[in-house]
């Protein structure tokens, strides 16, 4: 059962060929057997999962089921889950048990999905390798000595290793797409505001967006269908009808009439030569499917990384100010006074990368530096968004590499933050503009997966999913299984 996609499992469940309880039990046993080597999960909720599975079987028998009823999934440990630890991969929140479900968790549960647990992640979603977690690094199923990408590395590794057929992730600067690329799965970051952020612990509020991670575009469509939609509890959520994403994928077909732009800036210096060759072969598949592929320009693309690492830390320093040891989370022992409580609780609770970003963010927001750094970064952010708007007047989608390299070795970039930050050089601008982006498997280099990134105009998730689905109908990269995970 573990080799089946969500769509395939849904058909089997509705036919009665397998029960939701049998499926959940089989995957829980697989997690117990394999996750010790991967560290993809922080918390496994076996009892709760089996109870949900039994309820799913009742709904299947009574005809009340949706396409996701009985489907096992996992949630990134950044989503609040009632009665279950929500740690954000940090010592600061290690003891925190949420009293409510995030909207994403709530909606997937309402659709009948069965949550098997919470996945590992970079601390407070700050990282590109899943090495900053308080619970230790996640290992890439394709090579346990390499990273799975971050910050949604636990979800990516769990899906790639066939521990679950789908999982939730969050994407602030590439944290769904980059790990999807490095582990050989499909990951979608929706348009900012398409999916509610209520109950999703904030890193950078103007950039964070929840999205699905699965093996195929079709599976991502099924998950997004349940996740998307207006939520009055989230002031940034857009009140806009949700299309039928799976219907957009129906049948066989080509991509005639689709115009794909390839930004010149994404194929220049910094991109590994073998990865570039792999991307170009994937673009040829799109040509063979009838799409027109042409070069476009994003002249301010080179400014995305510096802009992001002003704005994201600024928002993080504000959002993380609430963790003071008073109300919840880590609290130091025997504080001498209130100042000592604040200082030691935060010093003990946060890891080095989170502290680095808090310090940067506080600096750029401080008097005397706000105009020079934060305000200027917001102005350049607007220029980056305008570049995309001009590009989408010429083409329907943009395409290029998701990551400049394949998965790098554990520890290789931990002492070089700038090199680590450059791992997201092709994904960050999409978040700054609030656009939807998708990464799908596009080949292999030296036995490691390569992802192709597709970017669409606002609320064009259906078009992204359709293009990726047609590509996956013509290729088999998404069907490849890591060694030892078959």
In a domain, 409, yes or no: no
Q: In total, how many domains does the chain have? A: 1
Task: Write the pLDDT tens digit of every residue in 167-187.
Answer: 999 999 999 999 999 999 999
Distance CA 399, CA 168 (A): 23
User: Is the pLDDT reported for residue 252 higher than 80?
Assistant: no
* Number of neighbouring beta carbons within 10 Å of residue 197: 24
Task: Write the pLDDT tens digit of every residue in 103-152.
Answer: 999 999 999 999 999 999 999 999 999 999 999 999 999 999 999 999 99
Rounded mean pLDDT of 347-356? 97
Which of 36-45, 210-219, 416-425, 444-453 is the least confident region?
416-425
Q: Which pLDDT does position 178 carry in this prediction?
A: 98
In a domain, 34, yes or no: yes
User: Which residues, 6 or more positions from 175, have their beta carbon under 8 angstroms from its beta carbon?
Assistant: 122, 125, 128, 150, 151, 152, 169
Task: Write the pLDDT tens digit of every residue in 256-290.
Answer: 999 999 999 999 889 999 999 999 999 999 999 99
In a domain, 187, yes or no: yes
Asked if residue 449 lies in contact with residue 180, where contact means CB atoms within 8 angstroms, the answer is no
In a domain, 133, yes or no: yes
Mean predicted lDDT score pLDDT of the chain:
97
Per-residue confidence band for 253, with pLDDT thresholds at 50, 70 and 90? confident
Asked if residue 71 lies in contact with residue 10, where contact means CB atoms within 8 angstroms, the answer is yes
Rounded mean pLDDT of 249-260? 89
Q: Which pLDDT does position 251 carry in this prediction?
A: 74
What percentage of the chain exceeds 70 in pLDDT?
100
Per-residue confidence band for 1, with pLDDT thresholds at 50, 70 and 90? confident
Rounded mean pLDDT of 60-70? 96
Rounded mean pLDDT of 155-160? 98
Q: Which pLDDT does position 33 carry in this prediction?
A: 97
In a domain, 275, yes or no: no
In a domain, 369, yes or no: no
Rounded mean pLDDT of 447-455? 98
CATH number for position 87: 3.90.1300.10
Catalytic residue annotation: 76, 151, 175
Strands (E), 6-71: 41-44
In a domain, 406, yes or no: no
Asked if residue 40 lies in contact with residue 158, where contact means CB atoms within 8 angstroms, the answer is yes
Domain hosting residue 39, numbered range: 6-257
What percentage of the chain exceeds 90 in pLDDT?
95
In a domain, 236, yes or no: yes
Per-residue confidence band for 356, with pLDDT thresholds at 50, 70 and 90? very high
Distance CA 148, CA 39 (A): 11
């Amino acid at each position: 059962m573990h080799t089946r996609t969500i769509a395939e499992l849904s058909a089997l469940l509705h036919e009665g060929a397998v029960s939701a309880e049998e499926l959940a039990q089989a995957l829980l046993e697989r997690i117990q057997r394999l996750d010790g080597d991967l560290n993809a999960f922080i918390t496994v909720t076996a009892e709760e999962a089996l109870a949900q599975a039994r309820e799913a079987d009742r709904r299947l028998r009574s005809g009340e089921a949706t396409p996701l009823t009985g489907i096992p999934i996992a949630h990134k440990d950044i989503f609040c889950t009632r009665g279950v630890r929500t740690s954000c991969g940090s010592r600061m929140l290690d003891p925190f048990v949420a009293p409510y479900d995030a909207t994403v968790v709530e909606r997937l549960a309402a659709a009948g999905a069965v949550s098997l647990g919470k996945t590992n992640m970079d601390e407070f979603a700050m990282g590109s390798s899943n090495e900053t977690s308080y619970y230790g690094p996640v290992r890439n199923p394709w090579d346990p000595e390499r990273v799975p990408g971050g910050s949604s590395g636990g979800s990516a590794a769990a899906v790639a290793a066939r521990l679950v057929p789908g999982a939730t992730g969050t994407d602030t600067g590439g944290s769904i797409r980059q790990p999807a690329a490095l582990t050989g799965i499909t990951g979608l970051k929706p348009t900012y505001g398409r999916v509610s952020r209520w109950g999703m612990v904030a890193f950078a509020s103007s950039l964070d967006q929840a999205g699905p991670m699965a093996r195929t575009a079709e599976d991502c469509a099924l998950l997004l269908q349940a996740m998307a939609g207006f939520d009055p509890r989230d002031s940034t959520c857009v009140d806009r009808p949700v299309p039928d994403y799976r219907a957009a994928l129906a049948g066989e077909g080509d991509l005639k009439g689709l115009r794909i732009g390839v930004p010149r800036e994404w194929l220049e210096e910094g991109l590994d030569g073998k990865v570039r060759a792999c991307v170009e072969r994937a673009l040829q598949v799109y040509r063979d499917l009838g799409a027109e592929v042409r070069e476009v320009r994003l002249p301010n693309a080179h400014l995305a990384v510096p802009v992001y690492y002003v704005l994201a830390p600024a928002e993080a320093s504000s959002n993380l100010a609430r963790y003071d040891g008073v109300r919840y989370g880590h609290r130091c022992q025997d504080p001498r006074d209130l100042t000592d409580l604040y200082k030691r609780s935060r010093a003990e609770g946060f890891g080095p990368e989170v502290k680095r970003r808090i310090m940067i963010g506080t600096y750029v927001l401080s008097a005397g530096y706000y105009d020079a750094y934060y305000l200027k970064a917001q102005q350049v952010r607007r220029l980056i968004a305008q570049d995309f708007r001009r590009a989408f007047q010429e083409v329907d989608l943009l395409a290029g590499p998701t990551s400049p390299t394949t998965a790098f070795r554990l520890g290789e970039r931990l002492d070089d933050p700038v090199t680590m930050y450059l791992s997201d050089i092709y994904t960050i601008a999409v978040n700054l503009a609030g656009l939807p982006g998708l990464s799908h498997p596009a080949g292999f280099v030296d036995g490691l997966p390569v992802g192709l990134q597709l970017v669409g105009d606002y609320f064009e998730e259906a078009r992204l999913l359709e293009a990726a689905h047609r590509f996956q109908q013509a290729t088999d990269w998404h069907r490849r299984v890591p060694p030892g995970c078959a």
